[in-house]
Amino acid sequence: MTRRPVVKINLAATGEPRRRPDDLAAEEPLEIRVRKEPLAVTMRTPGQDIDLAMGFLLTEGVIRDAGDVVTAQLCAGTDTPNTYNVVDVVLGPDVPPPVTDPSRNFYTTSSCGVCGKASIDAVRTRSRFDVSADPLSIPAATLAALPDRLRAAQRTFDRTGGLHAAGLFTADGDLVVLREDVGRHNAVDKVIGWALREGRLPLTGHVLLVSGRASFELTQKAWMAGLPMLAAVSAPSTLAAELADEAGMTLVGFLRGQSMNLYTAPQRVTV
């Protein structure tokens, strides 16, 4: 977070506009390099950058497991003063190098996780995990309680109001890990990167909850991590529902209060 002075105007209150400090969520570029070659730039909230890079490489199909990575380190880069906004990843000698043609390189903003890919084929990455056979079962009441648990753990959001969150939960509703970021795709990559480095993939029997909508890219990332269920407090897109249906993943949208919509594989949610 950074703090800036702002002029506060409240039309519902009496008195003149007043100057006060305000906390802003940090947003800085992170360049991901593979074997010293630039692969991607993402606008993210600094923190858990190694997890972000590892999660990104896994969900984009560059690596299959943690053993594909020899080293991943945060580097100073070329900025003055040094911002440590570069992660350099060295892959194993048997791991095919990622495509680095400029027309296929990745540039991701806070709101878009697949910007700059040259074709539909470049967007689509198939998972090696069969989530359709995952026996996960979760009561609707347990699922309905997850957004409040996610929100209660969002410490930075409380001060800035400007971050997305992704939380990994067990079938009993226990929070395993939470990550916040200005980009919802980054928050998901940080969760998956953490799970990858902890040796937890595939994430059989777990639920991924995101604080925004369920897009195609988030559904794809969840599938790549072997997650049988993706839940969102907002709406899914058509492509998200189609991909979840193809994968055999349960897609939950509008998870708010005591209600929810089950778009695919509803048998995993019991009433």
Concatenating the DSSP letter of every residue in 87-145 gives: EEEEE-TTSPPPP--TTT-EEE-SS-SSTT--SHHHH----SS-GGG----EEHHHHHH
How far is Cα 190 from Cα 178, in angstroms, rounded to an integer?
9
Per the annotation, the verdict on 112 as an active-site residue is: yes
How far is Cα 126 from Cα 169, in angstroms, rounded to an integer?
24
What is the SS3 assignment for 26?
Answer: coil
Contacts of 261 (CB under 8 A, 6+ apart): 252, 253, 254
Closest CA to 253 of 229, 217, 222: 229
Pick the catalytic residue: 50, 90, 112, 235? 112
How far is Cα 78 from Cα 48, in angstroms, rounded to an integer?
21
Paired with 91 in beta bridges are: 69
Point out the residues that are catalytic: 112
